[in-house]
Every structure is written in C-alpha cells, then in structure tokens.
A and B are shown apart, each in its own frame.
Chain A
Amino acid sequence: MRLERRERASRAAALTAPIAAIAVTLLFASSLVAIAGAPVGAAYASLLEGAFGSRFAISETLTRAVPLMLTGLAAAVAFRARFYNIGAEGQLYGGALAAVAVAGMADSMPAVPMPVLFVLMLLAAALTGALLLLGPAWLKTRLGVDEVVTTLLLNFVVLLFVSMMLDGPMKDPGAMGWPQSRALPYELELGRLLERTRLHSGLVYALGLAVLTGFMMRFTRFGFAVRAVGANARAAHFAGIRVQRTMLVVAMLSGALAGLAGAIEVAGRTTYVTLDMSPGYGYSGIVIAMLAALNPVGVVVAAIFVAGMFVGADGMSRAVAVPTFIADVIVAASLLAMLVATMLVHYRLRWR
C-alpha cells in the first residue's frame, strides 16, 4: 500500500470529507448500539430527536455548543501553528475561577459599574487562560519541550488547584459543604436568548469570536504568519517571520479563548464554579477543531454537531437502554475518521 499525492485536491472532496467521516462513524457506532441490545433505528431516531427534535432540544444543543465552540476555536487557532494545546480543559477551569474571583470583588468595589466589572471579568478569564499556556509555550520555543505532555499534565495541576480553592478560600459558605464557589451576582450573568430555556447570550459572543478569529486567520498578517509557521516553520523563518514570537502569541490567544469558554460557561449556564462543570469540553474542542479542518467558521458547525451528539445521547439513554458514553465513542471515532478522510482528500491510496 502506498500513498500518492493527488495533483489537485478537489474542493468538493474537501467539503464532503467531514460528512463522510461522520457517516462512517455513525455506521460504526450503530454496531455498538446493536451490541447493547437496542434497536438501531429507534436509537438513532431518539438521538436526533433528543438533539434537534423540539425547541427545547435545540436550545439545549446550542447551549451545550457554546463552550465547545470556544474550546474548538482555541484548539483550531493553536493547531494551525502546529502548537498542540491539549490544556484547554485546565485553561477553561482557570478562566472560570478567575471570572468568579473578579466578580466576587463586586461587593468591595461598589463604585465600579457592573458593565465595567463584566468586561474585567472576561478579561481576567482570558488573561488567566493565556498565562496558563505561556509556560508550556515558552518551554517549547526555548527548550524544545513537547507541549502535548506539558499542557496535558498542567490540566491535572489546574484542576487540583481549583479543587483547593473551592475547598478553601473561594468556597461558598451557603452551599452546605458542597465544594463550589459563590454564585455570580445577578447583574453579571449573561442574559437569556430564549425564554424558558437555558440558552444564553454567550452564543452571540462565541459566534462573534468565531467570525473574528476567521477574519484574523484569513485577512491579517498575523494570521498569515500563524499559517506559515504551521505549514513549514523553517520556510517561515527564512521568509522573515518571527517563528518563536508567533508561536507564543498564538499560544496565548488559544489559552485566552479557552479561558473565555470557562467564564462564559459560568456567566451563562452555571453561575458558579464546580469541579464537574466541564465534562471534557477541552478535549472535545480538539475533536471539533479537527472536524472543522481548523477552520474557525467550520468550528461553529462542528461544535453544534458534537453538542448534538451529547445532548441526543442523553435522550437516547432515556428512550432505549444505550449508555450515554456512546456520544464519547462517536466523537472519538469521528476524529479518527476525519483524519483519514482529510488525508484521502490530498492523497490517493495505491495498492502495489
């Protein structure tokens, strides 16, 4: 078996690659559903219905998609420069903690108007996320330390730190012993987009950031530098691009986006920080970025798909006896399928 580069990668193939990947994945997952003893057709029907079947379902899917869009953007931006930020989970929690910390100062600073505090809150979250990634980025550019392992290990450290804060200084005294932070003041919460649902205006922020990121990547010098460094760092260096600086800035941008994901989750959905507020959003973000072929606008679509899988799986588990982990399997398998599909867009398989 040999790989042969195609002369021209067709545009149509590039667009259908994610769809083909997802189709193959769902086929694979249907075998798992069958093993669980559930009727495949009914299972997938309940999955679709749970994700998109009603006004409430769609609102739940979109609510779930908001942090995924942001962590997906974080991964897409970083991966473009071949900087593998796997620490989005930790950066999310760090951002959430920072947001709550800043919001908690609302009482001691009555002179600061709420809108200003809101902006400060988001900035603090973004800054925290960026700083969390600065260490691994610096280690990579200066010492060549692989950022995958450092960012991964840092996730555990950050989560333990958050746990420590929630057990101690930032604990909510009114939470009956449960480790969670104080809730955000009502004025700092994000508004509801749709009544009687949990959909909040964080969606607007996420969409806006996706558009901004896409614009930056495509039309600015920095975006060009990022793409150049990711394509061929040596060539970029010889073209005059400051590779190390670009990587550091991209890393901080990525961390900032992930930190914002945490802040927006707190401000929009939970209003306080708990240890289980993210069921792996950081890792799912990586899958989303790959499904979107690192395209910021594609991230929005991919995030809605992944969110739909998780929300739909909840509905599926209620209708037929299929464990909710099927969603995780689908997401993981679609990552691998997407890798193969993307490769097939550019290469042809030749048997001997």
Chain B
Amino acid sequence: MSEILDFLLTETFWIAVLRIATPLILGTLGALVCERAGVLNLGIEGIMVAGAFSGWLAVYLGAPLWIGVLVAALTGAAFGLLHSLLTVQLALSQHVTGLGITLLASSLSYYAYRVAFPKVDTPPTIEAFGNLDALPVPVLQGLTPLTLLAFALVLSIGWLLMRTHFGLAIRMVGENPAAAEAQGIAVLPVRTAAVVLGSMLMAVGGAFLTLAAFNAFFFNMVNGRGWICIALVVFASWRPGKALLGAVLFAFFDALQLRLQQVDGGLFGFDLPYQIYLMLPYLLSILALVVVARRAAYPQALMRPYRKGER
C-alpha cells in the first residue's frame, strides 16, 4: 500500500494523468457541445480515429504540428457536417447515424492508411509535440501544448456556452427548440453549428493521440475512449467544468491501474491478471453512468429531432 502512496506523490504520475486525460477532456467537451444542442453524437469514436489519422498524415507529409491539428479539426468538422445533415436536417435516428459515422470514419481512415502505406512492418513515425520545457512550474513542464489547449478550451467553451448569445442559442435549442424558434432563433443552423464545433473538438482529441501521446498511427488506437467520453458527459451533467473534473478523475484511475499492474502484489496483496486492471476504466464508466442516472439533468430536447411545424 505504501508503494502506491509513493508513486502518487511523484511528478511522473500526475503528468501521466494529465496526458491520459487530454483526449478525454477534448472528446467530452465535443460531445457536450453537441448534446447541449440536443444532438447525441455517437460518431465520436470514429471522428477521433479520423482526427488522429488526418492530423498525423498532414504532419507526415511535411506540415507543421499545429497545421496537423487544424487538419484534424477540419476532418472532424466534415464528419460533423455529415452527421448534422443526416440527424438535424433529415431527422434520422441519432443513434444509428452516429454508429454509422463511427464505422464510416474509422474504416475510411484505415483504408486511407493502407492505401498510403501498403506494406509496413512498423508504423511510420513523426516528430511529435515536445514537452513545454520553457514553463516555470515543474509539473507543467512535462506537458504538451495540446494539454494546455485542452484546459484553455474548457474555459473557452464554458464561457461560450454561458456568456454568449450563441451559447444561449445552443442551450435553448437543446431544451426547447419550439420555444427557441418562437424567439426567432433558427434551430437547424444552430444545431448544425454546434455539432460541427463539437466534432472539431472530438477530432482534435483524437489528434492528440498521434501528435503528442504517441508519434505514429496504428489500428485500435482510440480503443473505446470515445464511448467513455459519452459516459463522462452524463457524469459531468453537461457542464464543461465538471467535464474537466470527470476526465481528470477517470484518468487518475486509469493511470493508477497502469501503475498497479507493475506493483508486485497489486492492490490487495496478490497479483491480479492484467486484464482485470484494463477492465477497470470501462467498468468505472458504466458505474459513473449508473450513479448519476437518477439525477441526470438531460437537455430536454436531447435526441428529439426537430421538424419545423411539427408538434
């Protein structure tokens, strides 16, 4: 037990926590923005893959890292546009469309990867984001710029949602689109914009994996993080601040289980198979959903397509 407390106090552990948290923060923020507007974006898993691949490919082809991030964001925007076309304009099932987008985005990314690199033994690598050695505070020095961007985005999205007219419009169309329409707000364009914005955030979250956490793209990279973000949004009661908290909390347990695998005797004095540790993040997400289920303050119009003139 004391070994566990030992590494909890090390710098490397907390740097790892923030590194694991970054894609979760971005993904959760993205899903949050979409859901606040009333659209459940289940394309998140695929959009993260697509963001990871497109950002990485751009850098591999010679672009600077931040252009890679931009390319990833634009890829996310494209899939977000497709999603909103189907769910917002054509009022199709958000569940099925989201799953279709996940499948499409992932398979397109893998296909493009194979077309670009037909026969590779080891995945080709790029020069990823380095650490922020210039910063004064030691803990911050181990981070990458994208992690700081994630923190900045939490503040920005919070400010956007709560203090701007656009944010108010987003929240209104997510709670009561008919009332928003009566106030003169164009529901469909606002929802579309929210979904596109959210998808951009998700894609940047995916790009973090290839541009900062690792420096190559490989299959099954996202590995369920997108779905975990969907669970975290509920856990965060659709608030950006709580989303940050939830993501960091989750990352804490994820980093903890990684370390516990290496500690002899595990948590309880005997070695558990490593798969049990790997299960914990997913089980925790399900638990998080169950815990907040009763008190969940859903945006009232979530998953209800809006057809003008319909009651």
- Which A residues contact B (CB, under 8 angstroms)? 1-3, 32, 35-37, 84, 86, 139, 143-146, 148-150, 152-154, 156-157, 160-161, 163-164, 167-168, 283, 286-287, 290, 321, 323, 325-326, 328-329, 331-333, 335-336, 339-340, 343
Contacts and interface: CB of A to CB of B under 8 A. Distances in A.
Nearest to A329: B107
A82 B175 CA distance: 23
Contacts of B111: 32, 323, 325-326, 328-329
Interface of B: 42, 82, 86, 89-93, 95-97, 99-101, 103-104, 106-108, 110-111, 114-115, 118, 223-224, 227-228, 230-231, 234, 273, 275-276, 278-279, 282-283, 285-286, 289-290, 293-294, 296, 307-308
Contact of A3 (B90, B99, B107): B90
Contacts of A157: 279, 282-283
A1 B85 CA distance: 11
A325 B96 contact: no
Contacts of B293: 139, 143-145
Nearest to B118: A321
B286 A287 contact: no
Contact of A153 (B99, B100, B107, B224): B224
B107 to A, nearest CB: 4
Contacts of B286: 149-150, 153-154
A154 B279 CA distance: 9
Contacts of A2: 308
22 contacts: A3-B91, A36-B115, A143-B290, A145-B289, A148-B230, A149-B230, A152-B227, A156-B224, A156-B279, A156-B282, A160-B278, A287-B103, A325-B111, A328-B107, A328-B110, A329-B107, A335-B96, A335-B99, A336-B82, A339-B92, A340-B86, A343-B91
Given A139-B293, A325-B114, A339 B227 contact: no
A167 B228 contact: no
B100 A336 contact: yes
Given A153-B227, A156-B279, 10 more contacts: A139-B289, A149-B231, A149-B286, A157-B283, A328-B110, A328-B111, A329-B107, A329-B111, A331-B107, A339-B100
Contact of A336 (B97, B223, B289): B97
A6 to B, nearest CB: 14
B144 to A, nearest CB: 26
Contact of A1 (B86, B89, B224, B234): B89
Contacts of B224: 152-153, 156
A167 B275 contact: yes
Contacts of A150: 286, 289
Q: In this complex, which of A152, A286, A287, A290 has the most chain B Cβ atoms within 10 angstroms of its Cβ?
A: A152
A157 B86 CA distance: 31
Contacts of A154: 282, 286
B103 A283 contact: yes
Contacts of A329: 104, 107-108, 111
B276 A84 contact: no
A343 B92 contact: yes
Contact of B103 (A160, A323, A331): A331
A2 B298 CA distance: 27
A335 B294 CA distance: 33
